[in-house]
Amino acid sequence: MNIAIPLYPRFTALDAVGPYTVLAFAPGCTVTFVAAEPGPVLDDRGSLSLAATASYGDLPTPDVIVVPGGPGTIEALSDAELLGWIARAHERTRWTTSVCSGAFLLGAAGLLKGRKATTHWGWLDQLAGFGAEPVSERVVIDGKIVTAAGVSSGIDMALTLLAAMRDEETAQAVQLAIEYDPRPPFAAGSPKTAPVGLSEKALALIN
């Protein structure tokens, strides 16, 4: 199972690394970071880079693609090379997935028309502009397209995907291997439970 994660300037690291860790632990899965050309790509903080080891052309037909989000999504929406690769790869993928604002890149590639999809809560309603039906859930599956909400939900998406690709026992084994047993110290992970006024501060951190 060949899995490709495209990188572009100012992606959010956890969007890519969360799913990477889950899927790279899975037996029979090979995960490759791809970009316009091989080499390091800086994240949205400008202080961490991941190395793409292949170009889009090197991996034209992966079985799975996982498109991360991040502040760089805005510029990436006009990246014809990236969008073209997503659209062409999707024709032959078993699963096409995104994390956070990566959903907008799926939309810009023409993949979300008439489909249910999710993204970060701060921009969820804007998915409708790409013909999608916005759904406020952590992971949304519509056909072979799987979208995840904000940042950390990519881990949930990858485990859900792994269960569909393999089986629940494999997904559970990986979950246990990485000790993914979330117990957040605050009930502030959703605008539904966060203190009043915190949403504005949270959005200011990631814009």
Q: What is the pLDDT of residues 120-154, one digit of tens each?
A: 999 999 999 999 999 999 999 999 999 999 999 99
Q: Hey, what are 99's tokens?
A: 């994390």
Average pLDDT, the chain: 97
pLDDT (average), residues 66-79: 98
pLDDT of residue 207: 78
pLDDT of residue 24: 97
Q: How far apart are CA 126 and CA 74, in angstroms?
A: 13
Choice among 4, 7, 29, 100 that is catalytic: 100
Question: Strand pairing of 39-42 and 49-52?
Answer: antiparallel
pLDDT (average), residues 193-205: 95
pLDDT of residue 201: 96
The predicted model scores a pTM of 0.97
pLDDT (average), residues 104-132: 98
Of the pLDDT bands very low, low, confident and very high (cuts 50, 70, 90), residue 104 is very high
Q: Residues 204, 50, 39, 161: is their CA dihedral positive or negative?
A: negative
List the beta strands (DSSP E) in the chain. 2-6, 30-35, 39-42, 49-52, 54-55, 64-67, 95-99, 116-117, 133-134, 139-142, 145-148
**In the annotation, is 29 catalytic?**
no
